[in-house]
Amino acid sequence: MKKKIIFGNWKLNKTNEEIKSFCNVFNNLLKKDKNTSKTNVVYGIAPTFLGINTFFLANKTAAIVLAQNASTKNFGPYTGEISFELLKNNHVNTVIIGHSEVKKNLFETNKIINKKILTLLENNMTVVFCIGETLKDFEKNQTIATLKKQINECLKNINKNDIKNLIISYEPIWAINTGKTATKEIIKKTIDNIKKILFCIFKKDSQKISILYGGSVNEKNAKEILNINNVDGVLVGNASLDPENFYKIITLA
């Protein structure tokens, strides 16, 4: 049985002092809860790059540290980039790749995302690969076609032996930071189709890939989402900024 995965993405939020404050509350909540440490849950936080070391030092729980992005380059004249080696050196082995905000704001293409995923997997790092459709795609009934294109192009030439380190997060773009959440029927149907697409590529090995849901997940709707039988976890945005809310979501898994 797969472990449930609860990851928080802080995006461009929290100073070092705010991170320490979050960890202080979060540490105490987990310390008092004797059941949480026994549950079948993997949880973690993706701070800003500058907050990674602060979170690592202040965190006294089992929470892992994720990066919000990574470069395809490892060293050299690439100003502003962060390599997988630098991340590993700072206790980070899991990276979010292909988030819709990165694609929009930093103009990432599927070709670039594919190269990043290949680089990370080849270096034994875990990838949280985000996919999702726009509101226009959704309204035109193009969700599956859009996701199929993203998956086929971004997972091109992936070695089957590496997919044990691949996690997919389905995040409908129209549900990110909008307060809108896809219904459980939409989530289940879409993830069933994602599994079919993955099976066409990786056959039975595709079962090793955990699939998360992201898109305005919070402490009020997380239980319903996590109870959908094909959902392996959630990628939480704004709700993960509050230690009590994030803790509550973990306990619901």
**Listed residue (195, 176, 240, 244) closest to 5, CA to CA:** 240
Q: Which two tokens stand for residue 103?
A: 């694609």
**Listed residue (40, 93, 86, 37) closest to 64, CA to CA:** 93
Q: 178: Cβ–Cβ under 8 A, 6 or more apart, which residues?
A: 216
User: Active-site residue 224, yes or no?
Assistant: no
Beta-carbon count within 10 A of 37 CB: 11
Cβ-count burial of 183 within 10 angstroms (0-12 exposed, 13-18 middle, 19+ buried)? exposed
- Rounded distance between C-alpha atoms, residue 190 and residue 78, angstroms: 38
Do residues 52 and 90 lie in contact, with contact meaning Cβ atoms separated by under 8 Å?
yes
Catalytic member of 99, 108, 133, 219 = 99
Catalytic member of 101, 133, 171, 219 = 171
User: Active-site residue 91, yes or no?
Assistant: no
Q: At what angle do helices 184-202 and 143-154 cross, to 10 degrees?
A: 40
Do residues 91 and 78 lie in contact, with contact meaning Cβ atoms separated by under 8 Å?
no
Q: Enumerate the active-site residues.
A: 99, 171
